[in-house]
Amino acid sequence: MARDAVAAKIIEWTTQRKPNNATHWSTRTLAKALGTNRAMVNRVWRANGLKPHLSKTFKVSNDHRFEEKLVDVVGLYMNPPERALVLSVDEKSQIQALDRTQPGLPLKKGRCGTMTHDYKRNGTTTLFAALSVLHGTVIAVVICISTSTDPPMRS
């Protein structure tokens, strides 16, 4: 099969099909399925910006008044009432301050970096920020830290 035809097939299979018993293609599995080599699959993926191992999440609202509410909220930021203060609040409470129970071993020839399977809690962190959504700037930040003496946990 001509090189361009193989490349077209790689793109088609990557974007339109999924392998059996897997969530996405790897260079090896796709190369085997198409009778080519993984270097060819890798070149085509890079040339076309394909990264089947990555995914982005999203959530679509099922609220039938979602668009109406969205327009109201965005309108407050774009054109606030005279002398009004419009705040944007997003709670990021209890961010866990975790640390491994032992230091990991560094990367070296023939061995990847290592880390222990368990960790200890060093408390929680709560982040509060005042934002100017219209201008995309942070007005103020407050971080609250609480300590904990919980026993080590397994990840």
Q: Which of 52, 51, 17, 32 is nearest to 40 (CA)?
A: 32
Four-residue CA torsion sign, 59, 69, 82, 142:
negative
Four-residue CA torsion sign, 132, 136, 139, 143:
positive
Rounded to whole angstroms, how far apart are CA atoms 48 and 7?
Answer: 10
Among 16-20, 91-95, 149-153, where is mean pLDDT lowest?
149-153
Residue 57 lies in a domain: no
Q: How many domains does the chain have?
A: 2
> How confident is residue 14, by pLDDT bands cut at 50, 70 and 90?
very high
- 118 token code pair: 């368990």
Q: Based on the fold, state whether residues 25 and 90 are members of the same structural domain.
A: no
Residue 149 lies in a domain: yes
Residue 77 lies in a domain: no
Cβ atoms of 127 and 91 within 8 Å: the answer is no
> Which of 2-7's residues contact partners 24+ apart within 8 Å by CB, and which partners?
6/34, 6/36, 6/40, 6/44, 7/40, 7/44, 7/47
Residue 26 lies in a domain: yes
Question: pTM for the full model?
Answer: 0.43
Residue 137 lies in a domain: yes
Give per-residue pLDDT as tens, 41-93.
Answer: 999 999 999 998 887 777 778 899 999 999 998 888 888 888 887 777 666 66
Question: By residue range, what is the domain housing residue 43?
Answer: 3-47
> How confident is residue 121, by pLDDT bands cut at 50, 70 and 90?
confident
Q: Based on the fold, state whether residues 96 and 144 are members of the same structural domain.
A: yes
Residue 74 lies in a domain: no
**Best-predicted range by mean pLDDT (72-76, 85-89, 138-142, 143-147):** 72-76
Q: Based on the fold, state whether residues 91 and 152 are members of the same structural domain.
A: yes
Burial code (b: 16+ CB inside 10 Å, e: under 16) for 45-62 equals beeeebebeeeeeeeeee
Residue 81 lies in a domain: no
Q: Based on the fold, state whether residues 28 and 90 are members of the same structural domain.
A: no
Q: How far is CA 75 from CA 20, 70, 102, 133, in A?
A: 47, 8, 51, 12
Residue 76 lies in a domain: no
**Best-predicted range by mean pLDDT (23-32, 79-88, 119-128):** 23-32
